A and B are shown apart, each in its own frame.
Chain A
Amino acid sequence: MRKSNTERIHVGESAAPRARLTRRSFLGRAASLAGTTTVLAALPELSPFASGPARARAPIVGFHMDHPYFDPSGTAEPYYPPSGTRSGQALADVAQIHLIGQFGYC
């Protein structure tokens, strides 16, 4: 089941037009900007989590050997992490007096 996800992927300040991805274009951009992952600046709309009709071969995040990986070909099965851990839920049923009594300032 496709999940909609409100996560925003920051793709950098660049307003560069979406370029067709090749390994050379990765290298060219990366060589000109030191130190950070710059590839995605060439992909203004990298959004593996967007809903809507599938685009032709936009890169996605796949999953392999129990770990996510970046698939520039866009052909792998996408991985959608859960939209949040809901880690506050464990306290939802705890009375307020105990919420702050047991867990202090939260």
Chain B
Amino acid sequence: MVDFSKDPTARGFYAPDRFESTVYDCEVIGRVPSEMNGAFVRVGTEWLYPPRFADDSIFNADGFVGLFRFKSGVVDYRGRWVRTARWQNDNAAHRQLYGYYRNPFTDDPSIRRETIEKPYLRTLANTNVIAHAGKLFAMKEDGPPYELDPKTLATKGPMSFEGRYHSETFSAHPKVDPVSGEMICYGYEATGLASNDIFLYSVDRAGRVTRELRFKAPYVSMIHDIAITQRHFVFPVFAFTTSLERLRAGKIHWGWDARLPTYIGILPRDGAAGDLRWFKGPTRSIVHTFNARTEGSKVILESPVTETNPFPFFPADPGNGDSPDARHGTTIRRHVFDLDSKRDGYGEEILFERSVSGLGRIDDRYISLPYRYAYTGFADPNRPFDESRAGNLRGRVTNCYGRFDLRAGTAAAYFAGDTHTLNEPVFVPRRADSPEGDGYLIGVANNLAEMRSELVIADAQNLEAGDVARIILPFRLGPQVHGNWIPEDRLAFA
């Protein structure tokens, strides 16, 4: 019997979702811009069966993809499970077989031997969903990406890139170079659990692997995201770490260790593994990056950064915890790496004092190039929030999207509503050739009082004006990690 009653987090708006759905002609308030033809695709996490451990991470829940298909002002929605091998095993057994996030030593005995040997079989494909070379795929950094049918969202299966991709793991944040059209992707822990191997690949426009690089990092870490410039790769290595010893002890995959410095790897894009140079800096968490560029001898990276552990479900072991002096909150920071310098230090600058969400994006047509705007959500405690209808969350929920102007140092905000929390925003160019930032900012808002989710569409150049349109779904959506806008010409949608 499926029983979530012992999971105290699964209540109210956050009660289990666990359903596939289709909505034809979604309810719309306002008018969907007629130029928006394509799809907003999002992936997130949903427990098919309750977690084995109450203190497991939501990142360990099954992958679930939602697709809002936009065509001539009409929006259809569909949501489907990503039917990974793991999902299929649990579905057949009618129970949860898998243990802690990325720790196969805690799996059910019936599967444990295999999952320890082949941890990539545990992947949930629940972190990002992108399109490249005419394919749609969902991925998680612990295993191969899973291909999905763009019309139906049926799961086609794990991708192998014609056998030319040799890492056991992939990344949730490949980068598509808008100039060359190639996809830069990589896998850390590439040769097995807690291995310090990183394999990097270039996959061309047609989906063919054209390049492979193999290297190691100063310590095994969560390289969740990277950055690219036209001339360099940038790899953040920061204070989460793991080891086989830790996993055998039955702990969750990552432990935070505030004693560990941050290492940023800079590698020329046309270089060899031996050209990799590590810069070293104070303890930071750089889970996501906004963008990077190379100016002369300097590589400039902008990211949402914290000085403390960003994930309470990956706690520090005793003694490894954050310093009491560490600043709390995520702020948009710039790191400058001078390749002419002989030292391994780098400069850090806080660009905006406001605390923001760790999930942020740019206009993806400017990846690796000089750019102006960063978009991210933030919690504004000064906006109205109706606690009687939405819970004691004033100031704790992402209720605004911000456009941060990195050139002018100013910010503009869009407010979602007084019972709403916002997922990651995505920028949608008005047309393929529109200037940077000319387009729409969209994202899913959860309406905690009405028990439903709403896709908001704002003018990215006029966030203060509120909605251009809002798509009203008739139910709650589960948690989302990342999403993307995919124009109609990139994929064969319905």
**A residues adjacent to B (C-beta < 8 A):** 1, 3, 7, 9-12, 23-24, 26-27, 30-31, 34-41, 46, 48, 59, 61-73, 76-82, 85-87
Contacts and interface: CB of A to CB of B under 8 A. Distances in A.
B392 A64 contact: no
B397 A66 contact: yes
Contacts of A34: 95, 108
A23 B6 contact: no
Contacts of B387: 1, 82
A40 to B, nearest CB: 5
26 contacts: A10-B5, A11-B6, A26-B54, A27-B250, A30-B53, A36-B6, A36-B50, A36-B95, A40-B8, A41-B6, A48-B8, A61-B8, A61-B9, A63-B397, A64-B312, A66-B397, A66-B422, A67-B9, A70-B313, A72-B54, A72-B55, A79-B391, A80-B392, A82-B449, A85-B12, A86-B389
A102 to B, nearest CB: 17
A10 B3 CA distance: 10
Contacts of B312: 62, 64, 69, 71, 76
Contacts of A46: 8
Contact of B6 (A10, A71, A77): A10
B13 A69 contact: no
Interface in B390-409: 390-393, 396-398
B6 A82 contact: no
A97 to B, nearest CB: 26
B58 interface: yes
B186 to A, nearest CB: 24
Contacts of B97: 35
A38 B311 CA distance: 23
Contacts of B250: 23-24, 27
A39 B421 contact: no
A7 B7 CA distance: 13
Contacts of B357: 65
A79 B393 contact: yes
Interface string B438-474: 0000000010111100000000000000000000000
A89 to B, nearest CB: 10
Contact of B12 (A10, A27, A71, A81): A81
A85 B8 CA distance: 18
Interface string B417-453: 0000111000000000000000000000010111100
B124 to A, nearest CB: 16
A85 B11 CA distance: 12
Nearest to A33: B52
A90 to B, nearest CB: 10
Contacts of B423: 66
Q: How large is the interface on B (under 10, 10 to 19, 20 to 34, 35 or more residues)?
A: 35 or more
A49 to B, nearest CB: 9
B4 to A, nearest CB: 8
Contact of B58 (A30, A38, A40, A69): A69
Given A66-B397, A67-B58, A70-B55, A37 B6 contact: yes
Contacts of A82: 12, 387-391, 448-449
Most buried by B among A31, A34, A68: A68
Residue of A10, A65, A80 contacting most chain B CB atoms (<10 Å):
A65
Interface in B295-346: 311-313, 315
Interface string B1-35: 00101111101111000000000000000000000
Given A26-B55, A63-B396, A70-B55, A37 B12 contact: no
Nearest to B313: A69
Nearest to B389: A82
Contact of B9 (A36, A41, A69): A69
B393 A63 contact: yes
Closest 10 pairs (CB-CB, A-B): A81-B12, A35-B95, A10-B5, A68-B9, A27-B250, A39-B54, A66-B421, A81-B391, A37-B6, A70-B54
B421 A3 contact: no
A104 to B, nearest CB: 17
A30 B99 contact: yes
B14 A68 contact: yes
B95 to A, nearest CB: 4
A79 B391 CA distance: 7
Nearest to A63: B396
B479 interface: yes
Contacts of B479: 66-67
A6 B446 CA distance: 24
A43 to B, nearest CB: 9
Interface string B249-278: 011000000000000000000000000000
